[in-house]
Structure formats: C-alpha cells, structure tokens
Amino acid sequence: MKCRKCKAVAAVALPSHNTAFCPDCYPVFVRSQVERAIHRHKMIAPGDRVLVAVSGGKDSLALTLLLHELGHDVHGLHVDLDIPNSSTDARAACEGFFAKLGLPLTVIELRREGLAIPLVKSRIKRPICSVCGKLKRYYFNKFALENDYPVLATGHNLDDEVSRLFANTIRWDHAYLSDQGPLLPAESGFARKIKPMYRLTEFEIANFSFLRGIDHVIAGCPYSGKASFPIYKGLWSGLEERMPGAKVQFYENFLREGRPVFAAWSDQQGQLPTPCTECGYPTSAERCGVCRIKAMVADDEK
Amino acid sequence: MIYIRLEPEGRTMHFPRLGTVLQLLRKLGLGNNAALIIRDGELLTPDRRLHAGDEVVVRTVTSRG
Ligand code: SF4
Ligand SMILES: [Zn+2]
Ligand SMILES: [Zn+2]
C-alpha cells in the first residue's frame, strides 16, 4: 500500500476513509481532522484558555499534543484516583509528558479530598465506575469554573462516542440523547465542553500516538472489568469491519437528525440546576451528588 | 519461524510461516483495525509480507477508563 499524499510505503491503512498514509503524512492527516472538528463546531474561540482533562492514556495525551501544535493555550488537569497499581503510573505519564512539552499541569489528589477510589469503592454499593466518573467530572468542572477556563476539552474518540450513543439508544434514554455530542455549550455555571477527537477512532489515535512517540500508560485500571462499553465496542468494530464508515455515519447522522428532536423534547421538561448548598456546584438536588458521597464515606469512617 | 509478541498481555508465540500481516491478524482472530502491527519500530499495513526470522509486536488498541 502506498501513501495517498507522497506515494511512499504506507504505515497506516484506513478503510473507512478508503486511504493510507506514510509515517510523515499520517500525523498531518490526524491534525487536520482535529482542526476541522474544532472549526466546524466552533469549539474554541480565539484567545480561549483550554483546560484539557488528562488520564495518562493515549487519547488525552494525543489531544494535548494536537491542541498545542494547533496553537491553542493548553493547561492540563489530572485527577489522581489513588488506585493501586494504576494511578501512580498514570500520573507519572501525565507529568512526564507535560514537562517535556513545557506545558502547565495541575493534579488533584482524591485522597486529599477524602475520596480515594479504593475507599469509596469499599463504602458504596453502586458500581465504582459510575461514581469514579462522577467524581472526575465534578473536579474537572469545578476547576474550570473556579479558575475561569471557558473550555474543557476531553480525549473522547469516535469509538467512545459511538458506544455511548449506542448504550443510550438501547435504553432510549432521552435525557442523555438530548445532549450527547462533540460540543456542549456553556450553561448553568458549567464551562463549554468539547471533544475535538470525536471523529478519530481508537485505532487512528493509537497509530498517531505511536508515530509521535507519545509515552502513555498501556495497562488498564484493575476495576475496569464489568463495564458494558467494551461489549458495544466489540460489536461495533465487527460492524465497521464489514461496513467501513458505519461508525461515523451512525454518529454524524444522529447529530444531524436525531439529537435536535430529543433536545427539543427535553427543553419542554427542563429543570434548571441550582448551586449545591455545600460546595456551590450546579445540581438539581439541594446537595450535589459528590457532597452526598463525601458525607456517606465520612459517616462510615466514624 | 516468525516470532510474535502480544501487547499489553506480554504473551509470546510463533508461527512456522505466515504470508502477510492480514493472515497474522486472521490467525489471531483480530480485525484489521484492532491492533498496531510493529516490526523493528515500523508500522505495517495488512498487505505487508512477513518473513522468516521477523519479530513482530501485536499491540491491541483499547483505551482505559
Ligand atoms: S475503570 Fe472505572 S474505576 Fe477505573 S478509572 Fe475508569 S471509571 Fe474509574
Ligand atoms: Zn506520505
Ligand atoms: Zn456539593
């Protein structure tokens, strides 16, 4: 196979785009995909400081590099979950990467908040991943709010987005279907949320990370076993294999045809969040979910 | 012999002969976009030929939570 641009031996073949690229031309292709997504959805305005949520995995580090190379003002935020055999490496990967690029990185340690994930896991009955995700979102949002970042960027890729959309569709979860997308405008105290890599697959990002020598963590979280997303990802990769382009079509058609319908419907049901009485975070209850988890963990401690 | 190392598991295996990367992927039950295929630090597309003595890394692509 030959590179579409320069005819050198290809390193990456992309059936969904019906094309292939050499090691030099491929990163340029990836960058242009991200640049186009940012432009098309008006994700970042000139002068915006962009807060990037980084886990230490390939997606969020690749996003950091791409945004930096596209000339955006990037600040990293990592939440140290304090999970044994996982969090130390993840944090070190973030710190090493940001130091190499000379970019600022802030680390929030859940242990200091009394919310180390193993402790929380031992206190709750719900699956830990839903609580862990809630905590991460909370601290990203809160940090963006308190430090006046207009934009919060995450490294979600097309596979993440498609499996989430698929999960929401299987449940016909209209609340989630009404606001899933690569851009969530700032509202009720939340920063604008963007997913500049939503058109790139996991495979495409893995190739980019390899070719650009990004040092990311490979081993997964020891608690990741029971999530349902991997099942959907498996189904979709089988489908994509037989129908190249199926993923991007499913997602883009949803954004165009499906989402507006759900959004209009949910506007009628709308209930505006109010500040949490304890921490000020926007919530639909009096006390936000994280303050409730905190209280529960602290109660058990006594 | 062609030597295979599976990442991230770290398992190794070998095949007496394999024609192409595509055949390797099929033998491992993997789709074309399920893994990076790396030989001597170089990424290989499914049509590339494998040769006796090759050491190949198969790095599956799945992201953590
Ligand atoms: S797998 Fe679950 S517990 Fe582990 S980091 Fe992801 S969300 Fe948190
Ligand atoms: Zn080229
Ligand atoms: Zn609160």
* Per-residue model confidence as pLDDT tens digits over A58-84: 999 999 999 999 999 999 999 999 999
Chain B contacts to A (CB-CB under 8 A): 7-8, 31-34, 36, 38, 42-48, 59, 61-65
Considering only residues A241 and B43, tell me which one the structure prediction assigns the higher pLDDT: B43
Which chain A residues are closer than 8 Å to B44 by Cβ? Answer: 11
Which chain A residues are closer than 8 Å to B34 by Cβ? Answer: 203, 237
- The residues facing A76 across adjacent strands are A52, A105
Please give the share of chain B, as a percent, with pLDDT higher than 70. Answer: 95
Task: Identify the CA nearest to A94 among candidates A221, A216, A196.
Answer: A216
Cα–ligand 1 centroid distance for B37 (angstroms): 28
* Burial class, A281, CB count within 10 angstroms (exposed 0-12 / middle 13-18 / buried 19+): buried
Q: Is the predicted ipTM greater than 0.90, yes or no?
A: yes
User: How much is the pLDDT for B64?
Assistant: 44
In whole angstroms, what is the distance from residue A218 CA to residue A209 CA?
A: 12
Structural domains of chain A, with CATH: 27-217+225-269 (3.40.50.620), 272-302 (no CATH)
Q: Do β-strands A73-80 and B55-60 pair in parallel, antiparallel, or remain unpaired?
A: unpaired
What pTM did the predictor assign? 0.93
Encode pLDDT of A116-146 as tens digits. 999 999 998 888 998 999 999 999 999 999 9
In whole angstroms, what is the distance from residue A172 CA to residue A274 CA?
A: 27
User: How much is the pLDDT for B63?
Assistant: 53
Q: E strands along A180-242, which residues?
A: 183-184, 192-194
Q: Which residues contact A214 (CB under 8 A, 6 or more apart)?
A: A58, A61, A62, A65, A97, A208
Please give the share of chain A, as a percent, with pLDDT higher than 90. Answer: 74
